[in-house]
Structures are given as structure tokens and as C-alpha cells.
Amino acid sequence: MYAEVLTQVLTQVAAVVAFLLVVSVAAFVGRERLVATVREWRPRVRASAPAFAVLLVVLWLNRVMRQAGPGISERIGVHMTETFYDLEGEFVLVFQSIATGELTAYFSFIYVYGYAFLLIFPGIAYFALSDTRAFRRLLTAYSLNYVIGLAFYLLVIAYGPRNVMPEELTVTMLYDNSPEYQHLTREVNRNTNVFPSLHTSLAATVGIFAYETRSSYPKWFPIAVVLAVSVALSTMYLGIHWAIDVVAGLALAVGSVWLSNVLVGRRSIAELRRDVARRLPDRDDRE
């Protein structure tokens, strides 16, 4: 019974996002690259396998922590709801003053569908590039976002504005207007994990990458920026995050992107291995 609801929502989201992806791939990636990808997919997969594996581990770790996290948080976590509320005051309520039915619909759409699309499309787009570095960097940045985010989830226990000020946010609250999405989000997160906003950090990550790869995908860059900004705003408009969380998310994005640059070399591990293998016989000869 429970799984029914979840699959219902998931199917709905998957369908819409799939549609968006198809349209975007056609619009931005281009036929040439697609053809090349079909040809070269195997070495590319080999090249990016480690980064992909790490991301899978991180995602799975996240899932495990969703169960075990609260117990650990209880011991080591710091309650920060009131601190955030004291620091920030009622800033997020500024969105309530401009709220309209259309804006709510837009931001709700962005928060679920726009976000999913924003995360998946660059994966496809960068895999379609012959140089796998961007793809590997993207995956690495995703992993870093999750891992660092997870650490903060364990250390900081805080509830978002919708839990603290429900009466002021009734107009825009996502789970009041579209309660079915709560089934989706509770699969991936808990209501005490508002700091930092992973929605914002991952969206901003994509945005930064869009900037860095704007030579390869010039038309994607402005779209990505608009989407990323919308995602960040939607988290506050819908009363899910404090502005502090969003700022932290941005910082996390910048940090993850920069780290991914440091960690991911110009050559993939597979290529490095081949290099090493090629050089070894030389050494043998010398000895």
C-alpha cells in the first residue's frame, strides 16, 4: 500500500523528467555528439567508472544514514533551530508577500521536476563529450556534496521554516498544496536535515559546471543558471529552508566544484593505469 503511493509519484515524476530530458538532449547535445557517444561509450564508461562507483557508494551510504542518522545525531548533534531563527528572523517570509498561485505552481514544479531534471541532464550532456573529465568532475562534485552534506546532517539538528512558522507559510507550503511530494522527499531526507540545503548546493554545482563548460554547451548555460537560481529560491519560497541553509548550500557547491577540480586529473584512472603499465617494462629493462 505504501509502495503504491511512492511508485505512483515516482512514475509521474519520471515520466515528466524523461520527457524534458529527451527534449533537452535533442536541443543542446546535438546529433554529432550523440553519434560519437554511441561509438565510444565503452572506453568512456571505463574512464568514468571509478567516479561513478564512488557516487553510488555515497548515495547508498546516504540511504543507510537515513535510518541510522537520527540515532547518531541524537548523540553528537547540536540543536540549531532556534539559533537559525534568531539569526535570520523571518526573512523567508518576504516570499510570502509576493506569493501568487502561479508562483507557487512554478516553484513547486521547479522543486521536484526542475531539480530532478537539472541533476540528470548534465550527466547525459557531459557523458556525450569526448573528454570525460567534465563528466568525472560532475560525478565527483555530486559525491562531495553528498558526503559533506551528510556530515552536517549528523552534526546539525534543525527544523526548517515550515515546521517553525507553519501559520505564516500556509499559502505556499509545498506539502499542504501538493502533499504527494512528501512521499518522495521523505525517501531521501529527514525533516531535521535542513542545513545545508542540498537542493541548492547540487543545483548550484550544476550551474557552476554549466559556466565552466559553456564553450561546449553555450545554450545550456543560461538555462542552467535560471533553473539553479529557481531551485534555490524555491526552497525558501516553499518554506523548506532558511536563507542560512541556502547560503551554506552555495558555499558547499563552490567548495565541491573546486575540490573536484583538484581531485580529478586530466587523465582518468584507466588512462593512468595504461601509462603506468607502459612505463613499467622500461624500468625492468633498466634493471
Partner 1 sequence: MTEADTAPTDRPRSRRSVLAGAAGLAVATSGCVRQVRTVVNREDVDQLSVTIVTRPADGDREGIRLARAIADVLEAVGVDVAIDMRSNEEYLRAVLINHEFDLSVGVHPGGTDPDVLYEALHSRYAEESGWQNPFGYANMQVDELLEDQRRADGDEREAIVADLLETVAREQPFVPICVPEEHRFVRTDRFDGWGEAHPATRLGYLELEPGSDVERLRTAHTDARPSENLNPLTAEYRDDEPFLELVYDSLATERDGEIEPWLAEDWTYDDGTLRVRLREDCRFHDDEPVRAEDVAFTYRLLQDTELEDEEGTSPPPRYRGLAAAVDAIDVDDELELELELDAGEAVAERALTVPILPEHVWTERAESATVPGVRVAQGTTEAITTDNVPPIGSGPFRFESRTEREHLTLERFDDHFTRREDVALPEPPVEEFRVGIDPRSTSAIELVTGDDADVTSAPLETYVLDDVEPDPETAILESPSWRFYHLGFNARRAPFANPRFRRLVARLIDKAWIAEDVFDGYAAPTATPVTEEWTPAELAWDGQDPATPFFGTDGDLDVAAAVDAFEDAGFNYDDGTLRVRR
Partner 2 sequence: MNCDSTDPGDGVSRRAVLAAGATGLVLPTSGCVDRVESAVDQEMDRLALSITTVPADGDREAVRIARELEANLEDVGVDASIDMRSRSEFLETILIDRDFDLYVGRHPAGFDPDFLYEALHSAYANEAGWQNPFGFANIPFDDALEAQRRADGDEREAIVADLLETLAEEKPFDPICFPEEHRVARTDRFEGWSADHPESRHGYLGLEPAENVDRLRVLVTDSRISRNLNPLSATLRERGSTIDLVYDSLATEHDGELVPWLAEDVTLERADADDDHVARARITLREDCRFHDDEPVRAEDVAFTYRFLEDTSLGRAEFESPPPRYRGHATAVDTVDVEDDRELRLGFAAGVEAARRALTVPILPAHRWRDQIRSRAEDTTSFTATQGEWGLVTMDNVPPVGSGPFRFESNSEREHLTLERFDDHFTRREDVDLPAVGVEQLQFGIDPGSASSIERVANDGADFTASMLEAHALDSVPDEPDVDHLAAPSRTFYHVGYNTRAEPFSNPHARRIVSRLLDPSWIVDAIFDGHATPTAAPLPEEWVPDELGWDGQDPATPFFGSDGDLDVETARAALESAGYQYDDQGRLRL
Return residues touching partner 2 (CB under 8 A).
Answer: 1-2, 4-5, 67, 70, 74, 79, 81-82, 85-86, 159, 162-167, 170, 175-176, 179-180, 182-183, 186, 191-192
Report the residue number, 65 or 110, with the smaller CB distance to partner 1: 65
Report the residue number, 80 or 204, with the smaller CB distance to partner 2: 80
Strand-strand pairing, 78-79 and 156-157? parallel
- Considering CB distances under 5 to 8 angstroms, the limit depending on partner class, which of partner 2, partner 1, none binds residue 166? partner 2
Count of H helices and E strands in the chain?
14, 2
Report the residue number, 32 or 281, with the smaller CB distance to partner 1: 281
Report the residue number, 219 or 274, with the smaller CB distance to partner 1: 274
For the four alpha carbons of 179, 73, 142 and 197, in that order, the dihedral sign comes to positive
Rounded to a whole number of angstroms, the minimum distance from the CB of residue 259 to partner 1 is 22
Torsion of CA 44, 45, 46, 50, to 10 degrees: 120
- Considering CB distances under 5 to 8 angstroms, the limit depending on partner class, which of partner 1, partner 2, none binds residue 27? none
72 lines the binding site for partner 1 (CB under 8 A): yes
The single residue among 22, 59, 68, 226 that binds partner 1, judged by CB under 8 A, is 68
C-alpha span between 209 and 228 (Å, rounded)? 11
Rounded to a whole number of angstroms, the minimum distance from the CB of residue 73 to partner 2 is 10
C-alpha span between 66 and 83 (Å, rounded)? 24
The single residue among 1, 3, 64, 98 that binds partner 1, judged by CB under 8 A, is 64
26 lines the binding site for partner 1 (CB under 8 A): no
The length of the chain is 287
- Cβ contact 270:221 at 8 Å: no
Classify 158 as helix, strand or coil.
Answer: strand
C-alpha span between 215 and 203 (Å, rounded)? 20
Classify 79 as helix, strand or coil.
Answer: strand
215 lines the binding site for partner 1 (CB under 8 A): no
Residues of the shown chain interacting with partner 1 in the complex, contacts defined by CB under 8 A: 53, 57, 60-61, 64, 67-68, 71-72, 273, 277, 280-281
